Structure 1
Amino acid sequence: MPVDFSLTEEQKELQKLARRFAREQIAPIAAEYDAREEVPWGVVEKLHEVGLLNAIVPEEYGGMGLGMLEEVIIGEELAWGCMGIYTIPMASDLGITPLLLAGTHEQKERFLRKITQKPALAAFALSEPGNGSDAAALRTRAVRQGDHYVLNGTKTWISNGGEAEWVVVFATVNPEARHKGVIAIVVEKGTPGFTAHKLHGKMGQRASGTYELVFEDCRVPVENLLGQEGDGFKIAMRTLDKTRIPVAAGSVGVARRALEEAARYAKEREAFGRPIAEFQAIQFKLAEMLMGIETARAYTYYAAWLVDTAQPHAHAAAIAKAYASEMAFAAANQAIQIHGGYGYMREYPVEKLLRDVKLNQIYEGTNEIQRLIIARHILGQF
């Protein structure tokens, strides 16, 4: 059977829709909301209106039921417009994924309907002030009291944490058990004892809300538990093994924008009597950028294909995420270099591309963690 690299007609139409949305709805307001450090809720509403918000939710619960390949096609386009704004729907999908992996039909019906019937978001709360990469060392406690769990602790760096209708929270029933004591439980917005505090002063992705979540004697019904006690760590890791791929897609989108901006400027800017695009040094930079973009996109699509065909994909997701995010950071950096002093100013979009895409090397597992995953895969094969 020959390998087919073409998109279906439906996927091409989806790509056109997302590309048009990014150009018309996201790119024109990206700088404004970055400067204001505010979530553009109007864009969220429009994403919902056209079906690009929470699109991975199955049709039976009000979503579009899109696969991973469709998700990354959308992701590249939206991130071209603004990585920070793209993080809003991407982080919502991150929150949705544990429910898709481990939720019962009743839980899916109850929680997914809340974010498909209106413009609404989900969130995923794993990281804590004292641990990020060591996800098994949770300090947020969950104590069973009758038909409730009582949560106490703090989560941090939680995208959508204050806007979300509900958050999948990872806590421990027994810290000494490490990963074997972790649970995943859905906490709804407005639950007594649950508060969200917005974090300010981020370097980039300022148009998405990042929060510290505090749980003080927060009582959550046992019926909100995903899976069984002790399943939480496995649910978190299975989630991240999938959701790192959209991060890679977003990185490709940022890099593509960096290349477009750099090429356009290089043809306009003159030095020594001719456009700098005619200089081989500039041409080589542009060529390197495109080499990285095409390579990252191809591997991101491959990782998405592994997910959609139910094949092992943890190492592929790690490769895609690490490679694409580092490639995109390098591309944005080269775009600034091509712009010279102007690239350092907010008048031009390339400085924002660099600030935004840096976070792609950090969240959903730092790239150092991705290398550990890849190395373990190698050592397990030989």
Structure 2
Amino acid sequence: MRRRCASSSSRALRLPARSSALISSALRRVSPASSTGPAKHARAGRRIGAPRHRPGAACVPTVHRNAYTNDELQAVYDQTVAFVANEVKPHGEQWERDGKVPRAVLREMGDLGMFSLRVPVELGGLGLGPLASATFAEALGSSTFAGFDVTALVHTDMALPHLLNSGTPEQLERWLPAAMTGHSMLSIGVTEPDAGSDVAGIRTTAVRDGDGWRLNGTKTFITGAVYGDMTILAARTDPDERHGISMFLLPADTEGFVVAKKLDKHGWLCSDTAELTLTDVWLDGDHLLGVEHRAFSETMTNFQNERMVLVGMGVGAAQAAIDMTNAYTQQRRAFGGHLYDLGAIRQRMAMNQAKIDAVRASMYHGAWLAEQGVDATKELSGVKAWGAEAVNRVMYDCVQFHGGMGYMRESAIERMYRDARVLPIGGGATEVMLEEVAKRSYVDG
């Protein structure tokens, strides 16, 4: 049984009218087949010899409640799972071939309030916190198309927080409404060829020029910038200070700002990734986001949110992979029985479930700490490190237990295995995350 957060009922009363649409939409959009699916699938998953299941076919995601879930968060989860089941899974393979998610789909997500979860109520959003982001990310992960997941999460949880946290009233009035509806999609431009996890190594420069700024430099591995509308971009504004970095609002159609290359990736194929060049780009002074020279700390703070949602989408995908593999091995006949009859297989899958349950619990705990205003850098860096590795280990086993079919491009599990590989790299490499934990683990005396 769910344990409600103490503040859930009072917060629900303060939510805007959009929240009721969020809940009712979840109920409307779930088809009769899928609305009865979870219970049936859960029962099938617990017995040997489940009904026949096509290799790699989508399963209804296992619903996992946690100690921090309340009615609002459950509504976010339910609606998002329903949305991806109806609007993403049937079309995701085509998006993989196209290399992008259609803008109409993103606008529909905006219309449903999915891009407004963290936007304050007074600005027209739902006013929720990190727990909502974690819930949203896990639910997106059930899509099995990580490129779609990250397209949404870069916008909502990696770029938009900079505008919300540092934007002036004028900037919020100008840029926020279109971002909330999906009519303007944001990317975050921090990574450079020589500055990945080492943000202080940024070389892109912004120099004052009249009443504006002149920017020059290169960015790489920028998710969503090929087809996006604006990049929230980090540039060095103080050459004498290692942390002298500022953030800028950079519209895609700005003269001198060019997508030099659309990068070809191992996974996340329906998410576009860009190499960007800035050549004498001029921006008006009102495009500076936040305090000059002070964006380094803001960037490092938001990295915790970024790491949290990357783990969240990984957890959702791993759970889907476990469900798919259990269903497949329970119907796949071999050696006079079903694969799931073999203790070596079902015990390893049971251990995989235990791993993902532990990652999920750690992620939500970190989200809860952040929601209380506690610095959760140690906790979220830790779960990013071992959680991303655990997701990859789970995907490895799921491919293995699908046998030859798991190696075929027609199998969803093959795609999910490729997609998972970047999780220990992006948003902070495992080795860097472990250093963040180690630095906070010294014992006095």
In the other structure, the counterpart of 1:207 is 270
In the other structure, the counterpart of 2:233 is 169
In the other structure, the counterpart of 1:111 is 175
**Residue 358 of structure 2, aligned match among 295, 310, 319:** 295
Structure 2 unaligned blocks of 5 or more? 6-66
Which amino acid is 1:131 matched to? A
Structure 1 unaligned blocks of 5 or more? none
Distance in 2 between residues matched to 1:242 and 1:381, nearest whole Å: 29
Structure 1 contact 115–165 (Cα < 8 Å) conserved: no
TM-score (norm. length: structure 1): 0.94
Which amino acid is 1:144 matched to? R
324-333 vs 30-39, which moves further: 30-39
**Residue 35 of structure 1, aligned match among 83, 86, 97:** 97
In the other structure, the counterpart of 2:388 is 325
Which amino acid is 2:87 matched to? Q
Change (3 A) 1:228 1:330: same
In the other structure, the counterpart of 2:192 is 128
289-298 vs 198-207, which moves further: 198-207
Which amino acid is 1:352 matched to? R
In the other structure, the counterpart of 2:315 is 252
1:85 maps to 2:133: no
Aligned residues between the structures = 380
157-166 vs 260-269, which moves further: 157-166
- The alpha-carbon deviation at position 131 of structure 1 amounts to 2.2
Distance in 2 between residues matched to 1:21 and 1:29, nearest whole Å: 12
Distance in 1 between residues matched to 2:393 and 2:108, nearest whole Å: 32
Distance in 1 between residues matched to 2:280 and 2:323, nearest whole Å: 51
**Residue 56 of structure 1, aligned match among 101, 118, 131:** 118
Distance in 1 between residues matched to 2:185 and 2:443, nearest whole Å: 38
Show CA shifts across 1:192-244 (max 9, x none): 11122452321000111111121111111222222322202111111112221
48-57 vs 9-18, which moves further: 48-57
**Residue 201 of structure 2, aligned match among 137, 140, 157:** 137
1:18 maps to 2:80: yes
Structure 1 contact 162–197 (Cα < 8 Å) conserved: no
Show CA shifts across 1:55-83 (max 9, x none): 32223333333211111111111111021
In the other structure, the counterpart of 2:441 is 378
Identity of aligned residues (%): 29
In the other structure, the counterpart of 2:135 is 73
> SS state of the match for residue 196, structure 1?
strand
Distance in 1 between residues matched to 2:246 and 2:73, nearest whole Å: 37
Structure 2 contact 4–69 (Cα < 8 Å) conserved: no
Please tell me whether Structure 1 or Structure 2 has the larger radius of gyration of its CA atoms: 2
> SS state of the match for residue 199, structure 2?
coil
Where does 1:302-381 land on structure 2 (aligned, <5 Å)? Answer: 302-379=365-442
Distance in 2 between residues matched to 1:103 and 1:317, nearest whole Å: 26
Show CA shifts across 1:98-121 (max 9, x none): 222222232222221231245331
TM-score (norm. length: structure 2): 0.81
Which amino acid is 2:86 matched to? E
Structure 2 contact 236–245 (Cα < 8 Å) conserved: yes
4+ residue runs over 6 A deviation: none
Pairwise CA RMSD? 1.8
